[in-house]
Amino acid sequence: MQHDTARSWRHKDLLDISQLSLEDVLLILDTADYFQEINTRPTKKVPTLKGRSVVLFFAEPSTRTKTSFDVAGKRLSADTFSLAKSGSSLQKGESLKDTALTLQAMRPDAIVIRHEQNGAAEFMANRLECSVINAGDGRHAHPTQALLDAYTLREHWGMMAGKTLCILGDIAHSRVARSNVILLNLMGVNVRLCGPRTLMPYGVETWPVTVYDRVEDAVAGVDAVMCLRLQLERQQAGLLPDLREYAARYCLTAGRLALANAHAQVLHPGPINRGLEIAADVADAPESCILDQVAAGVAVRMALLFLHLTRKG
C-alpha cells in the first residue's frame, strides 16, 4: 500500500475539499478502511510513521478533532505535540506569520491547524515546507470532518450516488456544511439544506443544493439527516428570536425523522445540544451514527497523516 500511495498522492496540504478529485477522495476513504481494521485489533499501534512529528496547533477549542488527530498520530507511531492559543505566543500578540516561522524552524513533518480566521490554514501552508492539514478555519472549511462523514455514510449506504441527505440547522456559520456540500455533490449525493432564513449563508441560491424552510418538507424521503450545532458564539444578535422557538421549529424529533426513508441515518458533528437541534431519543436511536462518526474520525485522520507523510515529492 505504501508504494501505491506514494505514487498516487500529490497534495502537500489539505486545505479544502475543493482541491480534491473524486479519485483523491476514494483513495482517502479506501486507505481509511485499512486503518479502521487496525483500530479493531487488540494492539492498535503500527510503526508506519515512526520518527515523524506532527504539531497539533489548535487556536480554537476542540475535543473530537484534536483528540482524534492525536490518537491517529500515536497509533501510527508518530510523535504528536499539542499547541493551544492559550499556551502560545499568539496570546501575547505574536502574528500568525511569526508563529508559522517558529514552528517551521522546529522541522515538523506536518501541522494540523484549527483557527478562528478564514484562510488561516492556507496562510500557514504558503509559508511552510511541511504538510498543513486544515482542522477547521473560521466559517470556511472543515475538510477532515466532511471526509469522515462521507466515510460513515459509505459504510452504511455502500453506493453514495443517488442518495439524498438533508443538512439541518445553522448553515450560515458552519464550515462543516460548506465542506460537506462540496464533497457529497462530488460523490453524487443530492443535498438539501434546511434552517431559518437568518441562518442561511449569503449566496446560498447559487449552491448545488435545494433549500427548505420547513423541516417536515426537508426530511421527507431522505436517506440521512445531518444536524448542526447552533454556533451562538459566531452569531450576531437578532438572528434568532428565541432558542425555544428554534427548537420547536427545527429540532430533529422522532416524529420528523419518521418522514424520512426507513432506517435513515442521523449524523451530527458534535458537540450535541440535546433538545435544541436534536432530540435526546433521536441522538440515541439505532439510526444514530454519531459514535460511528467519532470512530471514523480516527481512521480517516490516520489515512490523511499517512498519505501526506509518505507521499513522494
* Tens-digit pLDDT profile for residues 35-72: 999 999 999 999 999 999 999 999 888 889 999 999 99
pLDDT at 162 over 80: yes
Give tens-digit pLDDT for 184-204. Answer: 999 999 999 999 998 999 999
Element (H, E) at 191: strand 190-194
The whole-number pLDDT of residue 299 equals 98
According to the model, what pLDDT value does residue 93 have? 60
- pLDDT attached to residue 87: 55
Q: Could you tell me if 276 and 240 lie in one domain? A: yes
Mean pLDDT of the chain: 92
pLDDT at 218: 98
Q: Read off the pLDDT of residues 81-105 as tens digits, 9 standing for 90 and up.
A: 998 765 555 555 678 888 888 888 8
Same domain, 162 and 284: yes
Range of the domain at 271: 143-293
Q: Residue for cell digits 417536515?
A: 216
pLDDT at 238 over 70: no
| One domain for residues 167 and 275 | yes
Phi, psi of 191 (to 5 degrees): -110, 130
In the annotated binding site, the residues are 64-65, 92, 114, 142, 145, 175, 229, 270-271
Q: What is the mean pLDDT of residues 76-82?
A: 96
Q: What is the CATH number of the domain that holds 106?
A: 3.40.50.1370
- What is the average pLDDT across 21-36? 98
**pLDDT value of residue 312:** 78
> In the 8-state DSSP scheme, what is residue 159?
-
What is the mean predicted confidence (pLDDT) over 255-280?
A: 96
- Is the pLDDT reported for residue 296 higher than 60? yes
Q: Report pLDDT for 240.
A: 65
Annotated binding site for carbamoyl phosphate: 64-65, 114, 142, 145, 270-271
Instruction: Give the annotated binding-site residues for L-aspartate.
Output: 92, 175, 229
Q: Are residues 203 and 288 in the same domain?
A: yes
Task: Report d(CA 29, CA 35) in Å as an integer.
Answer: 10
Query: Are residues 174 and 272 located together in one domain of the fold?
Result: yes
List the one residue out of 79, 72, 185 whose CA is nearest residue 135: 72
Do 158 and 274 reside in the same domain of the chain?
Answer: yes
Q: Please name the residues in contact with 226: beta carbons below 8 A apart, sequence gap of 6 or more.
A: 149, 165, 166, 167, 168, 180, 266, 267, 268, 269
List CB contacts of 73: < 8 A, sequence separation 6 or more: 49, 54, 56, 79, 80, 305
pLDDT mean over 17-22: 98
CA distances from 139 to 32, 75, 88, 130, 299 (A): 26, 30, 23, 24, 25
172, pLDDT greater than 90? yes
pLDDT of 147 higher than 90: yes
Q: Are residues 84 and 218 in the same domain?
A: no
Within this chain, do residues 125 and 67 fall inside the same structural domain, yes or no?
yes
Same domain for 149 and 283? yes
Q: Residue 7 pLDDT more than 80?
A: no
Q: How many domains does the chain have?
A: 2
Structure confidence at residue 3 (pLDDT): 47
- Are residue 151 and residue 244 in the same domain, yes or no? yes
Cα–Cα distance measured from residue 200 to residue 250, given in angstroms and rounded to the nearest whole number: 13
- Tell me: do 248 and 223 sit in the same domain: yes
Report the pLDDT averaged over residues 95-117: 91
204 shares its domain with 68: no
**Would the pLDDT of 284 be above 50?**
yes
Predicted confidence (pLDDT) at residue 2 exceeds the cutoff of 90: no
Q: State the pTM of this model.
A: 0.94
DSSP 188: T
